Structure 1
Amino acid sequence: MAKLDGIGMPGEDLSHLSFGGRSLIGANLAEADLTGADLLNANLTGAVLFGADLSGANLGQADLTGADLGWANLTGTNLSEANLTGAKLDRSNLTDADMVDANLTDANLTLTDLTGTVLITADHMSEAKWEPTLPPTWPEYFEPPENAWAPQKDG
């Protein structure tokens, strides 16, 4: 399978395309339309997906380590078993997403909408963080973890 590492397709219509199992390390997909796209087991380490529409996409088992998903639409997206270590999810919409067994170590959830999201057995949820005055919207009946946000030190 061809590697697509570092490819730049910001704002492109990539809806319903299959990138399953592909390497997209460092790809720039900012504001791209990836509605319903198949990204199962894709490697999106360090990818820029800022403002992208990933609604209904399949990102199950995808590696999104350090990816920028800020302001992204992830409504109804499958993120089960995805690695979101250090991912920026600030201000993204994860309404009704499936995040079963997702790894959220050091993920930024500032103002993230998690309404209706399935977070059962999400790994390292206790290590997720958000700006203290801008917490995420949690799913109903979900007991939020402690905030892992580290205060900034002066000087």
Structure 2
Amino acid sequence: MDLKDWIQLLALPFVGWLSTAVFTNTKRAQRLKLIGESFDAISQQLTDTGSGSSSQRRLIAAVRMRRFFDKEGEFAISEVLIKESIKHFSIKIKFVCPYEKDALSVISALLKTPVGKDDPQVQKALADSLAYANDLSGVDLQGADLSNSFLGAKSSAEQMSLRELDFFGATLIKASLKYADCGGAKFVQAEMRECVMDYGDFASADFRGANLTKARLKHANLEEANFQGADLTQANFAEANLSGGVFNGCKLEGAQFKGAKGIPIEIMKRLDTASIYH
């Protein structure tokens, strides 16, 4: 074999790899295009309030939005991760949801508009969809209607992360944040009547001016949480951790503190034998 033959032989693996890479990238681009077209179609159905639209179509579209969060679904794509060193070479394939952030942006925006707020079924479907997201960091939920939504979990092992999210002025009436991880979250002036927050982590959360009338916070971690000026009438803090919490200017009539840890002295003085504030 002459030099030319040797060069052609040695180049074969590289040519094969390059052909495969080009083919893979082409398929990826085509798949992204199809996913994008599906996202546009579902978004259009969800936001269409014209004379030909219907509540049922918007409800179906709201539920279908969750599929953009499913790493095993038809709207996910695969990514190949190659790690190479002198002694080790590995290839790992992971699945990602390329339109997850776009879906979250549409959902959070609609939860603040009449499309979401004027139709209770669509509103709840959109709000519940947030629990299916892989990553809620950076999502704007200020003023969103999250009433009756389930953003919690069934156990601490399935804990939903809502850390440092901003719920300023949001409506969470009868919503569930049970077992949710809301450390550092902002609930300033939020409407949270009868909200279920049992076993949740709300360390350093900000509840200033919020309405938590009849809210349930049993066994919750409320360490260094700020409740200044909040309405906590008939709220249930049984077995909760209140260490370092701020309760200045709160309405506390009828609030339950049985078994709670770190109860401020000024509150302790107003509790009856059943640990209820009067």
Q: TM-score, normalised by structure 1?
A: 0.81
RMSD: 2.1
Aligned counterpart, 2:246:
113
| Deviation per residue, 1:96-139 (Å, 9 max, x gap) | 1111111111110000000111111012x132112xxxx64746
Q: Which residue of 226, 229, 240 maps to 1:93?
A: 226
The answer to whether the 8 A contact 2:148-2:172 is kept is yes
Name the one with the larger helix percent.
2
Q: Find the aligned partners of 2:265 and 2:224 in 1 and give their Cα distance.
A: 10
Aligned counterpart, 2:182:
49
Aligned counterpart, 1:128:
260
Q: Which residue of 237, 240, 253 maps to 1:104?
A: 237
SS in 2 for 1:13: coil
The answer to whether the 8 A contact 2:152-2:180 is kept is yes
Report the residue type matching 2:269 in the other structure: E
Q: Percent identity at matched positions?
A: 29
1:80 aligns with 2:207: no
The answer to whether the 8 A contact 1:64-1:82 is kept is yes
* Residues matched between the structures, number: 139
The answer to whether the 8 A contact 2:228-2:250 is kept is yes
Aligned counterpart, 1:12:
139
The answer to whether the 8 A contact 1:6-1:28 is kept is no
Q: Which has the larger radius of gyration?
A: 2
1:29 aligns with 2:162: yes
Report the residue type matching 1:65 in the other structure: D
Name the one with the larger strand percent.
2
The answer to whether the 8 A contact 2:239-2:259 is kept is yes
| Deviation per residue, 1:62-118 (Å, 9 max, x gap) | 100111110011101111101100111100110011111111111100000001111
Q: TM-score, normalised by structure 2?
A: 0.47
SS in 1 for 2:258: helix
